[in-house]
Structure 1
Amino acid sequence: MQEKEKIKGPLGIIAGGGQLPCVVAEAAEARGLPLHIVGIRGEASPAIERFPHTWIKWGEFGKLFGALNDNACRDLVIIGGVTRPDPSNIRLDLGALKNLPFLLTLGKGGDDHVLSNVVRFFEKKGYRVHGAGDVVPELLVEEGVLGKIAPSAADRADIELAFTVVDALGRLDVGQAAVVIKGYVVAVEAAEGTDAMLDRCAALRVSGRTRGQGRTGVLVKMPKPGQEERVDLPTIGPETIKKASAAGLAGVAVAAGRVLMAERGATIEAANQNGLFLFGQDLTAESDR
């Protein structure tokens, strides 16, 4: 495994949606790291404005690099959800026109291809790209049982199968999650995302296809094989737990050290209150085989 580069100077945070950009910024401030957030309009939360920041529109590459360079940010964290922009909402500045060949690659291929290109693009510009876990290690789900409930032997069997399914489909750049109930693959994540997949599972239970089985089955999340984990780690939070509960599942299992947990305390408490297990599985041995 390649040794991680140390964060050496002011940290630039390129912010998409959700609360994680602010969580990373708070941790950087606590470490005494100067920082500057570049927020993408229509994606990033207004909450970033309590930190030094610059707003940009999609395509304003000149403004992006200007903000990073003016604040001496050579270390970067790219964090938060984004959607592929509508071409009508893109504003191309001179910096974008200079990088037009790169921009044209963003409309092609799956997420892994796009995100790997994004990282290489910034690295070629001389930036050092880090994962959120390099700044906030406590965001990463640790190994073992979290909360009050442990998975049963039957749950463990479902967990193993679900990890196998996600690994296989992930090699095709399909998704990062699957639901398995009593050895039956009920759902796999595609472009709709984990929440929508869990909504489908809840609908199946209501329709009777999985009704009467009690609280059973598991949601598993893990990165795809070969995924660029510095910019696209799977994430779980309280809403994930609530939707897993609504789907009648017994719990949630993720790849330890390779999945982010937003609102750690609230997520564990949601699992306890809803009677679900929350489990981090070490997949290192499997990946080394």
Structure 2
Amino acid sequence: ILGLIAGMGELPKLVAEEARGKGYRVFAIGLEPLADKNLSDHVDSIKKISVGKLGEIIDTLKKHHIKEAVMAGKVPKSLIYKSKIIPSLRTEKLLLSLKDKSDDSILLAIAKELEKDGIKLLNTTDFSSSLMTPEGILTGERLSENEWKDIAFGWKIAKEIGRLDIGQTVVV
């Protein structure tokens, strides 16, 4: 059984469908108030839990004997930090332990919390191959030396702006 922690958007449904196509049964935690109301049509079972209740999320996954999980879908940080949603004690402790409020810090901390309870967080791309660009040259022509330099430059910048939590895309 694969646990799916589902935020907003279409991605959780696509991940669930691909996981089921690979033979997984999918148990979803639909993060309230974000998860798509039709998510239940794409999973084997679902429980809706408030986005701020990390302890309840983990306890529910354990109760359903989930050993592997994936997170998919958008969860705006404003819901966690600036909304009327009251976080659980475990969520509050996690947020206070962060070195910063970047996406990377939050996701890494959640992954560590899951791992503490015996739940391995898998990569979303393992269940969204239909959305991935295939490896290799897509233009039909080999890249010039200058184009390779542009790619190396862009990759370096994209990694840094991602680390700084200021973006995910670079155009060279």
TM-score range, shorter chain: 0.7 to 0.9
3-state SS, counterpart of residue 145 of structure 1: coil
* 2:56 paired residue number: 63
Residue 178 (structure 1) aligned with residue 135 (structure 2): no
Letter in structure 2 aligned against 1:36: F
Q: TM-score, normalised by structure 2?
A: 0.78
Q: Report which of the two structures shows the higher radius of gyration computed on alpha carbons.
A: 1
Q: Residue 105 of structure 1 contacts residue 114 of structure 1 at CA under 8 Å; is this kept in 2?
A: no
2:76 aligns to what SS in structure 1? coil
Change (3 A) 1:120 1:141: same
Q: Which runs of 5+ in 2 are unaligned?
A: none
Question: Of 118, 126, 130, which residue of structure 2 is paired with 1:126?
Answer: 118
Q: Runs of 5+ in structure 1 lacking a partner?
A: 1-9, 181-289
1:78: Cα distance to partner? 0.9
Q: 1:54 aligned to 2:81?
A: no
Say which structure is richer in helix.
2
Deviations 1:180-215 (A, max 9, x none): 2xxxxxxxxxxxxxxxxxxxxxxxxxxxxxxxxxxx
Shift of 1:67: 2.9
- Larger proportion of strand: 1
In structure 2, give the amino acid aligned to 1:90: I
1:111-161, CA deviations, whole angstroms, 9 ceiling, x for partnerless residues? 222221111111112111100223344443222234x67587498254343
When the two chains are superposed, the root-mean-square deviation of aligned CA atoms in Å is 2.9
Which residue of the partner structure matches residue 74 of structure 1? 67
Classify 1:18/1:98 alpha carbon distance in 2 versus 1 (closer, same or farther; 3 Å).
Answer: closer
Counterpart contact for 1:58–1:89, Cα < 8 Å = no
Contact 2:102 2:164 in 1 (8 A): no
2:36 aligned residue:
45
Change (3 A) 1:178 1:99: closer
Q: Could you tell me which amino acid in structure 1 is paired with residue 11 of structure 2?
A: L
Report the Cα distance in structure 1 between the residues aligned to 2:119 and 2:16, rounded to whole angstroms: 18
Higher normalized contact order (CA 8 Å, seq sep 6+, divided by chain length): 2
Retained in 1: the 8 A contact 2:16–2:26?
yes
SS of the residue 1:178 aligns to: coil
- Distance change (3 Å), C-alpha of 1:106 and 1:44: farther
The aligned residue for residue 196 of structure 1 is none
Task: State the partner residue of 1:83.
Answer: 76
2:136: which partner in 1?
Answer: 144
What do residues 11-40 of structure 1 show as CA deviations (whole Å, max 9, x unaligned)? 100011221111111122122212111111
> TM-score w.r.t. structure 1 length?
0.50
What is the distance in 1 between the residues matched to 2:61 and 2:74? 20
Q: Number of aligned residue pairs: give it.
A: 167
